[in-house]
A and B are shown apart, each in its own frame.
Chain A
Amino acid sequence: MAERRRSVWRPGWRSVATWLFVLLLASTASAAEEGPTVQLLDQGLNTLWVLVAAFLVFFMQAGFGMVEAGFTRAKNACNILTKNFLDYCVACIMFFIAGYAFMFGTGNGFIGWTGFFMSGAENPSSVQPWAFWLFQAAFCGAAATIVAGAMAERMKFPAYLIYTAVVSVVVYPIVGHWIWNSGGWLAKMGFADFAGSTVVHSVGGWISFVGTIVLGARIGKFSPDGRPRVIAGHSIPLASLGVFLLWFGWFGFNPGSTLAVGDGEAISRIAVNTNISACAGAIVAMVAVWVFFGKPDLSMTMNGCLAGLVAITAGCNYVSPAASILIGAISGVVVVAGVALLDRIRVDDPVGAIPVHGMNGLWGTLAVGLWGQKSYGLTNDGLFHGGGLTQLGVQALGTLTVDLFVIAVMGAVFLAIKHTMGLRVSAEEEMRGLDIGEHGMESYAGFQVFTTT
């Protein structure tokens, strides 16, 4: 097309077809009544929005995979990616069978029980039910995959599959029922978690916490006197790619939770809140690491960015962009302090899942009680908008209950697995690499993988 220069515009068949289509649409629109057509378009637009958001949240799986692979050793890359791959697949199937029913079915304030295998399933949204299901299933997958990173490099693969099934069929849906089902006891109290700082990230983060404690640290992570040793990730470029993928996917995670386009105000503001919190988190984390440890460390900076994203997830609809900067900035401090704290108490978290998702899920949920505004749809104004401590109190109650619930339940599950089939691989397999031990294959066939740890 470029070679031929046209002095006269001769319409090709494509442009003719397009114009015919537009004319047809316009003629039917003017010929029919205003009401049903606009409603149809509205529902179609909202469904499209939710579907695209669902695709973006699914895409975050790639982000998680790359971050986890990048921050762990090459000899375990295949294993971590297989876990990442399978946990999404298992979560979706489990969510289809029973997870959605427990989460969105009618029942009591604790759990739902209608809609197993999606027959007779409730649809609390105004979009097409399958679009809503896909969106929610992607969230379930996101929560499940957080734990893979924290328990990386020493967990048995079958044990991980069992964990995924349990989390996606009961633990995550129950928490979701409390918060995102209008019949849930926390929802009824006015607890606000717009896109899932508690439902997704705290759940993933605090399960990681109890899991890493039951699993134990990697061999060689802590020297005999308790000081942490560096077990470096094998690919900072992959990790960096992963963080960008996650950031991109978050533009579906947060704005998509409106489940409607409306006049576009909410989704635009939410997108900006999401973005700006990430930026603030990254900058503050970088400065903190620079000041306390001497150099601007990229891996901590990226953790800061993710922390900002996690923290804004609860309040993305309820706060202003200015508040988002502050929320993100504080999350940068929380994540750096969190990593140092975990080293101090000898909890080995290779990717920082606990500080990023657990601690900042907690912080982000509380932040709604500080900067949330009634004018944006929150039940009570936050502390800094004249609402006193009411919302903050509800936020604290909700998030702490959820955190303790998941720690207790999954702690029991992990202990059960530990004492039956075993949670951890043998020392020899851990040194040799899980790729060979668990999967019988290498990730980097033909490359010299030279680790001295």
Chain B
Amino acid sequence: MKLIIAYIQPHKLNDVKRALFKAEVHKMSVTNALGCGAQKGYHESYRGVQFEVNLLKKVRIEIGVNEDFVERTIEAIIDGARTGQLGDGKIFVLDLPECIRIRTGERGGEAIG
């Protein structure tokens, strides 16, 4: 089992969700994040003073998947999130030793669904 963590542009979230649904991945967790990477910040001004905003808004998606779903999930995320510009984001794949469904107590592959 793997835990896939993806950081994407906030305005691509709907496209990513749609792509994941098409790949039959329906379960995920979405949170707010601030981040920076290769994408440069932008200028804001407040009462006449300019300042650089370096931590940009990002959205973090976490999905727990069985081995056979890993590749298609990654492809779906890339499909939905890619714009070709700097700041598209990154995907991390971690090993997931255990997964438990709270309602039934199932463990392992069945719990992931």
Contact = CB atoms under 8 A, between A and B. Distances in A.
Interface of A: 220, 428, 431-432, 436, 440-442, 445, 448-453
A440 B44 contact: yes
Nearest to B83: A428
Interface in B1-60: 10-11, 13-14, 30, 32, 42-46, 57, 59
Contact of A441 (B10, B45, B57): B45
B35 to A, nearest CB: 13
20 contacts: A428-B11, A431-B10, A431-B11, A432-B11, A436-B42, A440-B44, A441-B44, A441-B45, A441-B46, A442-B44, A445-B46, A448-B32, A449-B57, A450-B32, A451-B10, A452-B10, A452-B13, A452-B14, A452-B30, A452-B59
- The binding surface of chain A is classed by DSSP as loop
A451 B10 CA distance: 8
Contacts of A440: 43-45
Given A436-B44, A440-B45, 17 more contacts: A220-B14, A428-B11, A431-B10, A431-B11, A432-B11, A440-B43, A441-B44, A441-B45, A441-B46, A442-B44, A448-B32, A449-B57, A450-B32, A452-B10, A452-B13, A452-B30, A452-B59
A128 B110 CA distance: 82
A-B pairs with lowest CB-CB distance, top 6: A431-B11, A450-B32, A440-B45, A440-B44, A448-B32, A452-B13
- The binding surface of chain B is classed by DSSP as strand
Nearest to A431: B11
Contacts of B13: 452
Interface string B44-80: 1110000000000101000000000000000000000
Nearest to A452: B13
Interface of B: 10-11, 13-14, 30, 32, 42-46, 57, 59
A222 to B, nearest CB: 13
A450 B59 CA distance: 9
Nearest to B34: A448
A431 B11 CA distance: 6
Contacts of A428: 11
A257 to B, nearest CB: 40
B18 to A, nearest CB: 11
Contacts of A441: 44-46
Q: Chain B CB within 10 Å — which of A431, A436, A452 has the most? A: A452
Nearest to B85: A428
Contacts of B42: 436
A420 B46 CA distance: 30
A442 B55 CA distance: 14
A149 to B, nearest CB: 23
Nearest to B47: A441
Q: Chain A CB within 10 Å — which of B10, B13, B30 has the most? A: B10
B60 to A, nearest CB: 11
A77 to B, nearest CB: 15
Contacts of A436: 42, 44
Contacts of B43: 440
A9 B25 CA distance: 83
